[in-house]
Structure 1
Amino acid sequence: MTVAPEPPTMDPIRLPTPPAPPGRPGFPLIACVAPLVAAGLIWGITGSALVLVFAVLSPIIAVAGLLDGRRSTSRQRRRDVAGYAAQMAEARDAVDQGLARLRQEAWNAAPAAHWMLRNAHDATRWADPATASLVLGAGPGLSGLRLEGGDSAEQRELRARAAVLTGAPITVDPAGGIGLVGPGLVVTSLARSLVVQMVGQFSPRTLGVRIPAGDDWAWAVGLPHRSAVSPAGWLTITAGTPERPNRAGQPGQPGQSGGDFRIALAEAGATLPPGCATIVRVHGASEAELVRMGGHPAGLHFVPHLVAEQQTAGFGAMLRREAEAAGLAGSGDALPETVAFTPLCSGWDADSGRVAGRTDGSPGGLACVIGAGEQGPLSVDLVADGPHALVGGTTGSGKSELLVTWVAALAARYPPSQVTFLLVDFKGGAAFDTVRELPHCVGLITDLDDRDALRALASLAAELRHRERVLRDTGSRDITDPRSAGRLPRLVIVVDEFATMLDAFPTLHALFVDIAARGRSLGVHLVLCTQRPAGVVRDSLLANCSLRLSLRVNNAADSMAVIGSDAAARIDTGRPGRCVVRRGPAAAQACQVATTTDGDIQAVLDALPVSTQPPRRPWLDPLPRLVTAGQVAALAAEGPLSPAFKLGLVDEPELQRYTVAVYDPRADGHLLVMGGAGTGKSTLLTAIAAQAPHRVDLIPADVEATWDALVRARAALDGPAGPAPAGGRRHDAGPECRVLLFDDMDAVLARWGEEHRAAALDLLIGLLRDGAQSGLRLVVTGQRLTGALQALPALCQSRLVLRLPSVYEHQAVGESTASYDETVPPGGGLWRGARIQLMQAEPAGRNLEPAAVPSVLDEAGASVLLVVAGSAARSAAAIRAAASPAFPHVALLGAHPSAGARDDRLVISDVAAGTVLVGDADTWQAHWSLLTGLRGVAPLVFDGASLADFRLVTRRRDLPPALAPAGSRGWLVRPDGTVHRVTVP
């Protein structure tokens, strides 16, 4: 319990430091002695007695300096005092402003009875707070204002003034009972003030009022709380004599079992009933004393807030009218606590407004009953009352139950051929779990996947175009035209948490405004539901929502935004499903929404006629994770396709369709495919090669095969066609276009040496630049664009982007950051700005292995082999272990010279047929004459040698074929100078 509201935290006010008195200036001894010393020195040098006259100035200068110091000190003292006074004046103003602000905030947080009487519509929100707080009057309280610094008497006085908030609201908790002691007239006026506050805070469903007989309380007879039926608690006013304890035995809180309040009036303290936790003694109209609060002495004096009987005139009648509009009192008491769906809704006749046998409804409207009103079943019609509806309601008010009941009631009355539902729930979809199995439901959009939600909502624009096209083809003006009968069912779009959807996707507001503007003629209706309508649903959308329904909302502004009054803000929290319905300018009606169970939905399903024709859906499901060649072929058969490669399916929600993605090398140029590991790049190349409508070479991610393909393609551009592909497969379907498929180009480049990598990049870029003129097209796949590969997007006319590891790599290939989606499955990506799912490759029919590389020991026609080895001893041992019959002799150059050799060096005549001479590059340099003599007849093999060794020994600057880093590969230079790749032991 508090006397005044908790003061808000404010920044402390800094007090100035009082000025310190300046010290008195000392005697200028140095200024006095200096002239004497100077005069003496000059006299000693010049001997002139006239110089001694300057010594007389010494006391004059000293006295002048002393006077000047005192003058400066006095001036500084005056400046410090004036500055301190100005700072203190600012501090006093800050204290006054802070106290005024705190006082205003305290009264805003605890409005008194006079404010409620002047602003009844805003004050009586009936939000049913967990605890009540009553304003007794105005008095002193702790301000909570902090002052820092300074400790002078003046500042201590200012601190004392800032600590007390005069004129603050004195509030008490009515729990435990309030006893008012004093003269009868003023005590009754104070009690009247407390009653006004209590009925303004609690609704008639939560608090009932018992008043004593007499003219002083005649004004309270009209309060709706007087006729409350079984409220959660009672407010009892006793005057004069004690009464028995309440039915629970002790006072309590509304909303709890047996919770009551009590206000007791007495002329003297002895006549008060026992147990009052708060006792107030009223001395007069301007003075009262809080004697006890919460069972403890208080002794606080304040000015009571008194309310005269004339000030309450009409207050009770006004509250009763508002309670009746909200279904909380008067005729609203006739509304049942709960309403069952099946007995009320299944047999209601929209034409007569009576409960009758079930019909299939009327094609011109969408009337259905959603609950019970004061006069019986209450129906709404989206066509007649709409065309669109706005539903407001806070958490726990029964908002989702209203939507489920509305959908179920429409489904029970109209078949899917007349009405369909698109359900949108941005709370996860649980609200519509019970109705999603209805055949009328053509889609459920949730917030589980933002991209799927946007995709589905984008399809709505296409649905509007489809309906316009149907009406135009039939020559109809709108959906009610007989010429379009049976062609288009009405589509009801139900959006739960509309504000949440707009927060996530603000651009969708324009789409819903468009639907609202054109929906009536096209048969598209919106039911928009939100917790906070005020400021969320704009006027352009509200103008078309003529049907308004509001369950309980948190404040009057939200209630006004929906139904034009604050009646929904005063609906009892203990009445979920209580609703206020307003149709255009007509008066609002109270309603208890029917409760729909799983059994009710099953009964609706059982009563529906069996139909083999499902309703048309306004949007397609997301692309499947697995797209087969059969699915693509079936869709491709629907329209003509050019002889091109089929890649997969493209999602076009704005056109409500899937289309086949095709790549025509002749028209589309080179194709760059980027994607992370396992995203389907190799599968795509396999699928393209399997179709083979053109001449296709599939190059695996192998350094040797890729190098050969690049060299061969360059040679083909520069002259006659090169040899058959090595390590790849070729399908010939016509000479007009040739396609090379390179897999994982960036990974292959990383496995080459620096010079081979640079040469391969030059070859690749040259083919991309020059290939178009000769009918050559390249399809290049990779994971990352690094180094010179960053030029590929500019050289490739077509681009397919699969899932990449990060948004930065996605942006590096030329796509926008907004299109990045890390959740796409393997095979999913972007093709020309649209979402694509690649087709799974069919078996190619044969397993193509890289072409075999001949062994160096199988070299035909050679009698001697010359081996340049990185490790001569290891290569010699490996060749001996291979035991080739063509080369039975293996000699390690320089280790075993012949008997007749001069200077331990071999000559040509020393080398017998069938000999393999092995040495490293330096050793062969030492035997250069032998190397020169044998190269004309013997092949030269490089085993484990570097490119530098190759150039050192051969004196050639051209690059030999690239070698697999981990393979048993070497170079063989034939006597005619050709270089080949060979397998070495």
Structure 2
Amino acid sequence: MDTGRLVVDAPPDPPTPAPVNPLARLMPVAMLAAMGGMTAMYLTSTDSPRNPMFLFFPAMMLVSSIGTLAYGAGGPGRTAELNDQRAAYLRYLDTLDEVLAAAAEEQIRVLHHDHPEPAALWTLAGGERMWERADDHPDFCVVRIGVGEQPAATTVVAPELGADDEADPVTAGALRRLVRHRSVVAGVPVGVPLRSTAVVTVSGDPEAVRSAVRALVCQLAVLHDPRQVTVGVASPATHWDWLKWLPHRCDTPSARHHVVVVDGARPPEPAEDVTCIVLQPDDRTEVTVHLDGQVKAVSCDQLSPADAVACARRLARYRPGAGARRPGGPDWLSLMGIDDPEQIDVGMRWLRRSAPDLLRVPIGVAPDGAVVELDIKESAAAGLGPHGLCVGATGSGKSEFLRTLVLGMITAHPPELLNLVLVDFKGGATFLGKKSQYQRLYFFCARRHLHPYLGRPGRERSGRRPTTRGLPGPCRQTGVAGRQSL
């Protein structure tokens, strides 16, 4: 998120009226005198019949006098020049407003990424963002409490305006509205700096207050390492039993900061590096947040007990330094030693395979950073054996593991040594899209049209072996190639 200052140019001064010749000011007076004389002469003349058309001359002189006075008071061309100045400056402000609007949208996107919605916190457990805020992180112990207005990342620096009677009201008013509207960004996460706050008081409806504190605690637990931030509770009620699942409940004296939730109990004595979150239920429906006695304008987040339990239990399996994926870890390309996937020389990669490397591919990294390899050669060939079992609940990563294994095998072995038969009894989504122009991939599942020569999986369960017609030659042959077909 880019931050900076945007200096706005001052609006142009209104054009100064041009000095008027005194004789020009006397001209309307002379015309009015002449008009009066002609009117009197017309009314007092008796020598000839009166023609009403002669009255047009005094009327025309009156209109001409009024126009002369109006034009002389405004100055020649002053109105047109003022309108041009206004149009140019308003177009300039519109351009600045577009720039500031784009900066505000970027600020909203970045803040919502850095401080995610409470209901989405459980999705970060086990990912790269879990416990990402170390003590050197700029948002260490800054926890989202809700949404509201925040100062704009791009500061608008307004020029000094003169007195109201000297400035153009149109351009000056447009400038003031721009500065007022773009100085803040609405609808963005509002964070609480726990490191500099001793007491956070949340008051209002009891259920709404507990829901807001649940969201705050889950934000803290998902984004901060238990070795650096701990969470405690002082409450006789059972509303906070779910905190037992958090790794942050462990007593870590070396932690950089400690947070204590106080609900219906006496707060502990103030101490350094300790923040007390005190719940004060009352009859008000609106939730109010005080930071060391100062009101924080915010619309508090809400998190249900079920969502809080789900988030805490997702974190329960992880411990610092074991099981958590850290940012910057190796991906599949680096494990396989591939710099550019568009420039893979498969011929050279296949020629480099020695006997110990056959049917051996990396599948991940250990907690200490060591590469973990799977070798499915026979145990007599110093392998782990060709048979294995992968067990896990739905969403635990079984399909991702199988994709990693298959992709590594077809990348590291030529088709003369390796063919794959992929069997999926759950609809075929695991290996969807896994096609190779080199290897022969034979795929069938129980819910779709099967290869006519492979038969159905029911035959395997009943003890009947499908015919080998239609399988690639190496699968039917004896020797190394046949044994290495999967």
TM-score in terms of structure 1 length:
0.27
Over alpha carbons, which structure has the higher Rg? 1
Between 1 and 2, higher relative CO (CA 8 Å, sep ≥ 6) is seen in 2
TM-score in terms of structure 2 length:
0.50
